[in-house]
Structure 1
Protein backbone atom coordinates (compact mmCIF):
# COMPACT_ATOMS: atom_id res chain seq x y z
CA UNK A 1 0.00 0.00 0.00
CA UNK A 2 1.51 3.35 -1.02
CA UNK A 3 0.53 6.91 -0.20
CA UNK A 4 -1.22 8.90 -2.94
CA UNK A 5 0.83 11.61 -4.60
CA UNK A 6 0.04 15.13 -3.33
CA UNK A 7 -1.69 17.42 -5.78
CA UNK A 8 0.89 20.16 -6.28
CA UNK A 9 -0.44 21.64 -9.52
CA UNK A 10 -2.69 24.61 -8.73
CA UNK A 11 -2.03 24.33 -5.01
CA UNK A 12 -1.34 28.06 -4.57
CA UNK A 13 -4.51 29.02 -6.43
CA UNK A 14 -6.64 26.67 -4.33
CA UNK A 15 -5.11 27.92 -1.09
CA UNK A 16 -5.55 31.57 -2.11
CA UNK A 17 -9.19 31.07 -3.05
CA UNK A 18 -9.77 29.83 0.47
CA UNK A 19 -7.51 32.13 2.51
CA UNK A 20 -7.73 35.45 0.65
CA UNK A 21 -11.39 36.23 1.48
CA UNK A 22 -10.75 35.29 5.10
CA UNK A 23 -7.71 37.59 5.24
CA UNK A 24 -9.60 40.51 3.70
CA UNK A 25 -12.56 40.03 6.02
CA UNK A 26 -10.38 39.87 9.13
CA UNK A 27 -8.36 42.92 8.09
CA UNK A 28 -11.47 45.00 7.43
CA UNK A 29 -12.94 43.90 10.76
CA UNK A 30 -9.70 44.85 12.54
CA UNK A 31 -9.72 48.29 10.87
CA UNK A 32 -13.34 48.93 11.91
CA UNK A 33 -12.68 47.81 15.49
CA UNK A 34 -9.58 50.04 15.67
CA UNK A 35 -11.53 53.01 14.30
CA UNK A 36 -14.31 52.77 16.86
CA UNK A 37 -12.22 51.75 19.89
CA UNK A 38 -9.16 53.97 19.40
CA UNK A 39 -9.53 56.80 16.90
CA UNK A 40 -13.09 57.94 17.63
CA UNK A 41 -12.57 58.26 21.43
CA UNK A 42 -9.27 60.03 20.75
CA UNK A 43 -10.96 62.53 18.40
CA UNK A 44 -13.66 63.19 21.00
CA UNK A 45 -11.03 63.73 23.71
CA UNK A 46 -9.10 66.20 21.54
CA UNK A 47 -12.30 68.07 20.64
CA UNK A 48 -13.28 68.30 24.32
CA UNK A 49 -9.80 69.50 25.30
CA UNK A 50 -9.66 72.21 22.64
CA UNK A 51 -13.17 73.45 23.45
CA UNK A 52 -11.83 74.84 26.73
CA UNK A 53 -8.19 75.46 25.72
CA UNK A 54 -6.95 79.04 25.67
CA UNK A 55 -3.59 79.26 23.89
CA UNK A 56 -2.89 82.84 24.96
CA UNK A 57 -3.53 82.06 28.62
CA UNK A 58 -1.26 79.00 28.36
CA UNK A 59 1.46 81.06 26.67
CA UNK A 60 1.30 83.73 29.36
CA UNK A 61 1.52 81.10 32.10
CA UNK A 62 4.62 79.59 30.48
CA UNK A 63 6.11 83.05 29.96
CA UNK A 64 5.62 83.91 33.63
CA UNK A 65 7.19 80.59 34.63
CA UNK A 66 10.32 81.50 32.65
CA UNK A 67 10.19 78.62 30.21
CA UNK A 68 10.99 80.75 27.16
CA UNK A 69 14.47 82.28 26.93
CA UNK A 70 13.58 84.80 24.21
CA UNK A 71 10.51 86.24 25.97
CA UNK A 72 10.73 88.40 29.04
CA UNK A 73 8.11 88.15 31.78
CA UNK A 74 5.76 91.14 31.75
CA UNK A 75 7.07 92.37 35.12
CA UNK A 76 10.59 93.19 33.85
Structure 2
Protein backbone atom coordinates (compact mmCIF):
# COMPACT_ATOMS: atom_id res chain seq x y z
CA UNK A 1 0.00 0.00 0.00
CA UNK A 2 2.83 2.44 0.80
CA UNK A 3 4.53 1.72 -2.55
CA UNK A 4 1.57 3.27 -4.37
CA UNK A 5 2.04 6.57 -2.51
CA UNK A 6 5.68 7.09 -3.57
CA UNK A 7 6.32 8.90 -6.85
CA UNK A 8 8.18 7.02 -9.56
CA UNK A 9 11.89 7.86 -9.76
CA UNK A 10 13.20 9.57 -12.86
CA UNK A 11 15.14 6.92 -14.74
CA UNK A 12 15.87 8.68 -18.03
CA UNK A 13 17.34 12.11 -18.54
CA UNK A 14 18.37 12.61 -14.92
CA UNK A 15 21.88 13.77 -15.81
CA UNK A 16 20.64 16.17 -18.48
CA UNK A 17 18.03 17.75 -16.22
CA UNK A 18 20.47 18.23 -13.34
CA UNK A 19 23.26 19.41 -15.64
CA UNK A 20 21.20 22.30 -17.00
CA UNK A 21 20.64 23.67 -13.52
CA UNK A 22 24.25 23.18 -12.43
CA UNK A 23 25.66 24.85 -15.55
CA UNK A 24 23.52 27.93 -14.94
CA UNK A 25 24.55 28.04 -11.27
CA UNK A 26 28.24 27.62 -12.16
CA UNK A 27 28.05 30.38 -14.78
CA UNK A 28 26.41 32.81 -12.35
CA UNK A 29 28.95 31.94 -9.66
CA UNK A 30 31.90 32.45 -12.05
CA UNK A 31 30.47 35.76 -13.23
CA UNK A 32 30.09 36.90 -9.63
CA UNK A 33 33.66 35.92 -8.76
CA UNK A 34 35.05 37.66 -11.83
CA UNK A 35 33.18 40.88 -11.12
CA UNK A 36 34.18 40.78 -7.44
CA UNK A 37 37.85 40.43 -8.44
CA UNK A 38 37.58 43.22 -11.00
CA UNK A 39 35.97 45.73 -8.66
CA UNK A 40 37.61 44.54 -5.44
CA UNK A 41 41.19 44.02 -6.63
CA UNK A 42 41.94 45.16 -10.18
CA UNK A 43 40.29 48.59 -10.16
CA UNK A 44 41.81 49.71 -6.80
CA UNK A 45 45.20 48.47 -7.98
CA UNK A 46 44.95 50.44 -11.22
CA UNK A 47 43.87 53.52 -9.26
CA UNK A 48 46.83 53.14 -6.87
CA UNK A 49 49.29 52.88 -9.75
CA UNK A 50 47.76 55.93 -11.44
CA UNK A 51 48.01 57.94 -8.21
CA UNK A 52 51.63 56.88 -7.70
CA UNK A 53 52.79 57.75 -11.19
CA UNK A 54 50.85 61.03 -11.28
CA UNK A 55 53.58 62.85 -9.31
CA UNK A 56 56.49 60.43 -9.84
CA UNK A 57 59.75 61.97 -11.00
CA UNK A 58 62.10 59.27 -12.30
CA UNK A 59 65.09 61.61 -12.59
CA UNK A 60 64.73 62.78 -8.99
CA UNK A 61 64.46 59.15 -7.83
CA UNK A 62 67.56 58.23 -9.85
CA UNK A 63 69.53 61.09 -8.32
CA UNK A 64 68.50 60.02 -4.81
CA UNK A 65 69.59 56.43 -5.46
CA UNK A 66 72.86 57.59 -7.00
CA UNK A 67 73.63 59.76 -3.97
CA UNK A 68 72.85 56.82 -1.69
CA UNK A 69 75.39 54.68 -3.56
CA UNK A 70 72.96 52.08 -4.88
CA UNK A 71 74.60 51.85 -8.31
CA UNK A 72 78.13 50.53 -8.78
CA UNK A 73 78.69 51.95 -12.24
CA UNK A 74 77.50 55.49 -11.47
CA UNK A 75 79.35 57.42 -8.84
CA UNK A 76 77.96 60.24 -6.73
CA UNK A 77 77.98 63.72 -8.24
CA UNK A 78 80.77 66.01 -7.15
Match of 2:52 among 23, 42, 49: 49
User: How many Å separate the matches in 1 of 2:36 and 2:13?
Assistant: 35
Gaps of 5+ in 2: none
| Cα deviation code 1:13-34 (max 9, x no counterpart) | 2221110010001100111111
- Deviation, 1:12, is 3.0
Moved over 6 A (4+): none
Instruction: Provide the aligned C-alpha RMSD in A.
Output: 1.9
Structure number with bigger Rg: 2
From 25, 28, 34, the equivalent of 2:28 is: 25
Aligned residues: 73
TM-score (norm 2): 0.80
Cα distance in 2 for partners of 1:10, 1:57 equals: 70
C-alpha distance in 2 between matches for 1:51 and 1:14: 55
CA distance, structure 1, for counterparts of residue 65 and residue 56 of structure 2: 14
Name stretches of at least 5 consecutive residues in structure 1 with no aligned partner.
Answer: none
